[in-house]
Amino acid sequence: MDTDQLIRTLAADNTHQARPVGFALMLALLAAAPVSLLMFFTELGVRPDVMIAMRNPFFDLKFAVTLALAIAAIAVSLHLSRPEASLRGFGWLLLAPVGILTAAIGGEMMMPQRLPMMTRMVGKNSWTCLTAIPLMSLPILAGALIGLRHGAPARPAIAGAIAGLLSAGLAATLYASHCTDDSPLFVAAWYTIATALVAAIGALAGAKLLRY
């Protein structure tokens, strides 16, 4: 087939107009979310004292951190789905959850505490945290990658890593409502390790799946 023939064929297909990447990502996330929710409610569930916990600002701050991560990662993912886009100018969005977490740690430092720092950081649920967040992330990550395949990222591995951050942020939001460790130090240690693991899986998968 010579190039003129190919061009004629492409022009004939111009009537087919694809939906924007944001639409595909949203559909894929909506399809994947029930799987993670099912995992959450069958295996973990919301902590029983949630009504009291909500009065603790450090319990609420966990959601601020995880949702800031998820929202920033969604925005960066959509930006990176364009072939000419780079992280420059958008990457700073990902610092939002880090900033909130740092402020929360500072806040906790200034308050009198019953438990020593190390005890608060090590917590009681580190192992659950390290397994539950990645496991609940996987369906969301699969959905995010399927949605982002509609895009054309210049760096598929980086786009995949951001998709990993996105799914870890959403999974961690679920997990935060189960976990009784509310110290920002616990979040900074274990949530971060769990998130980094999912980002690494996302990078590996993205390098294969997000090439266009």
Partner 1 sequence: MRERDDEWTGLMRSAIAGDSAAYHRLLKAVSPVLRAAARRGLARAGQSIDQSEDIVQDILLAVHLKRHTWDVSAPFAPWLFAIARNKLIDALRRRGRRIFVDIDDFAETLPGEAPAETASASEVAAQLQTLPARQRDVLQSIAVDSASIKDTAAKFSMTEGAVRVALHRGLASLTAKLREQ
Write the binding mask 4 to 43 for partner 1: x where contact by CB under 8 A, - elsewhere: xxxxxxxxxxxxxxxxxx----------------------
Instruction: Give the other-Cβ count within 10 Å of 33's Cβ.
Output: 15
Characterize 180-206 residue by residue with b for buried, 16 or more Cβ atoms within 10 angstroms of its Cβ, and e for exposed: ebbbbbbbbbbbbebbebbbebbbebb
**Contacting residue, 61, 69, 81, 94, with partner 1 by CB under 8 A:** 81
Least distance between partner 1 and beta carbon 82 (Å):
5
Residue 185 structure tokens: 């130090």
Query: How many residues are there in the chain?
Result: 212
Torsion of CA 50, 173, 189, 205, to 10 degrees: 150
Distance CA 197, CA 114 (A): 32
- Interaction between residue 89 and partner 1 (CB under 8 A): no
> Per CB under 8 A, which of residues 134..173 are in contact with partner 1?
150-152, 154
Q: Which is nearer to partner 1, 8 or 124 (CB)?
A: 8
83 binds partner 1 (CB under 8 A): yes
In the bound state with partner 1, the residue whose beta carbon lies nearer, of 13 and 116, is: 13
| Cβ nearer to partner 1, comparing 18 with 51 | 18
Site residues, partner 1 (CB under 8 A): 1-21, 81-84, 150-152, 154, 211-212
